[in-house]
């Protein structure tokens, strides 16, 4: 008996806090996914890092042996300055001296990466004034960009998603959720083809040291606004039409980001995903529900009051009915 009561109470507790338990499971699943990613990246990349360290030590040792007049301390100082300059986008190599990081087209590309929060990190402001302006420019520009993207995506969604789905649903009488799933799949396939596969093939042809995988990797890292900065197009020493190439990449990033947002919004409007999201959200008490509760309480109170009123009236009436006398002569006792 006690076990059944305990089990029933546990079931009621879980059902009453179902959204909280789903949210806790979501948090735990996210933490496990983070740990899984860390384990995989560490196991895959750590051997390559160790191999690269060994190669650098061997090259450094060989260089010092061939140049005995140069001490290790002076070499360390030189390498530190060269690496610091490289982190700011300035290379010491002769074949990279012709490329400027802050001409107009490069600055336009940098501004687009800042406003889209991609931030490759290959080019950064050097001066204090540039850093201060970058902060002010980002504080104003990032919300402005979000407003711009939201307005553009909202208008594109009407013609790319909502009207085609409604037209097919009303014209052929197909199920609206089914039409939405097929439409989202086709739209995602078209977006991947036009903004990942085809640009990856173009980048692999234009960039000498990039293969198709590296080009596809750049497209994904850029349009997902991760922006690691390990691959940046247009930075080769012998890049032809570099200014026009930078402008084209800027246009590609903006259009690709808009298309990615349209695809994500299309998938978010699927009925199945809406139901999945509701599992983890807190249930909000709607104003209609509050009004219904108040009306129900009012009706209940009115019903109870109406039931209690006749009883009160009966209690106020005397047990023996007394006739009303018109005059004192009507009293039989006086007569």
Q: What is the pLDDT of residue 262?
A: 95
Residue 78: pLDDT above 60?
Answer: yes
Q: Considering the entire predicted model, what is its pTM?
A: 0.73
CA angle at 17 for the pair 16 and 19, rounded to the nearest 5°: 120
Q: What is the pLDDT of residue 198?
A: 96
Residue 97: pLDDT above 60?
Answer: no
Q: Are 230 and 216 in contact (CB under 8 A)?
A: no
Give a three-class secondary structure readout of 80-114.
HHHHHHHHCCCCCCHHHCCCCCCCHHHHHHHHHHH
Residue 313: pLDDT above 60?
Answer: no
**Per-residue pLDDT tens digits for 11-57:** 666 666 777 888 899 899 999 999 999 999 999 999 999 999 999 88
Residue 329: pLDDT above 70?
Answer: no
Q: Are 196 and 219 in contact (CB under 8 A)?
A: yes
Residue 315: pLDDT above 60?
Answer: no
DSSP 25-94: HHHHHHHHHHHHHHHHHHHHHHHHHHHHHHHHHHHHHHHHHH-TTS-HHHHHHHHHHHHHHHHTT---SG
Q: What is the pLDDT of residue 322?
A: 46
Of all residues in the chain, what percent carry a pLDDT higher than 70? 77
Q: What is the sign, positive or negative, of the torsion defined by CA atoms of 268, 270, 274, 275?
A: negative
**Per-residue pLDDT tens digits for 152-191:** 999 999 999 999 999 998 988 888 889 999 999 999 999 9
Pairwise CA distance, residues 161 & 179, whole Å:
10
Residue 150: pLDDT above 90?
Answer: yes
Q: What's the chain's average pLDDT?
A: 81
Pairwise CA distance, residues 236 & 208, whole Å:
8
273 vs 285, higher pLDDT: 273
- Of the candidates 269, 285, 286, the one whose C-alpha atom is nearest the C-alpha of residue 277 is 269
Q: Are 201 and 213 in contact (CB under 8 A)?
A: no
Q: Are 233 and 121 in contact (CB under 8 A)?
A: no
**Mean pLDDT, rounded, for 318-335:** 46
Q: Which residue has the tokens 């219904």?
A: 292
Q: Are 281 and 175 in contact (CB under 8 A)?
A: no
């Amino acid at each position: 008996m006690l076990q059944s009561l305990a089990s029933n109470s546990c079931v009621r507790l879980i059902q009453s806090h179902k959204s909280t338990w789903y949210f806790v499971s979501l948090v735990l699943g996210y933490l496990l996914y983070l740990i899984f990613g860390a384990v995989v990246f560490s196991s895959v990349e750590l051997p390559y890092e160790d191999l690269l360290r060994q190669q650098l030590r061997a090259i450094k040792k060989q260089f010092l042996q061939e140049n005995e007049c140069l001490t290790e301390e002076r070499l360390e100082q030189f390498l530190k300055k060269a690496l610091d300059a490289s982190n700011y986008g300035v290379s010491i190599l002769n074949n990279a001296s012709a490329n400027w990081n802050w001409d107009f087209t490069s600055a336009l590309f940098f501004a687009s990466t800042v406003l889209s929060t991609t931030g490759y990190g290959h080019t950064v402001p050097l001066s204090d004034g540039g850093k201060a302006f970058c902060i002010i420019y980002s504080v104003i520009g990032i919300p402005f960009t979000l407003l711009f993207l939201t307005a553009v995506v909202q208008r594109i969604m009407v013609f790319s998603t909502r009207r085609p789905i409604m037209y097919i649903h009303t014209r052929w009488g197909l199920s609206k959720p089914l039409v939405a799933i097929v439409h989202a799949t086709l739209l995602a396939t078209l977006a991947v083809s036009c903004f990942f596969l085809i640009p990856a093939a173009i980048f692999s042809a234009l960039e000498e040291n990039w293969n198709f995988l590296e080009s596809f990797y750049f497209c994904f890292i850029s349009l997902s606004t991760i922006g690691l900065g390990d691959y940046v197009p247009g930075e080769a020493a012998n890049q032809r039409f570099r200014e026009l190439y930078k402008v084209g990449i800027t246009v590609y990033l903006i259009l690709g980001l808009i298309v990615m947002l349209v695809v994500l919004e299309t998938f978010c409007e699927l009925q199945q995903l809406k139901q999945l999201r509701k599992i983890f959200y807190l249930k909000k008490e709607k104003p209609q529900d509050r009004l219904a509760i108040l009306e129900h309480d009012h009706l209940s109170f009115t019903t109870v009051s109406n039931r209690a009123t006749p009883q009160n009236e009966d209690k106020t009436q005397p047990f023996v009915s007394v006739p009303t006398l018109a005059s004192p002569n009507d009293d039989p006792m006086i007569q």
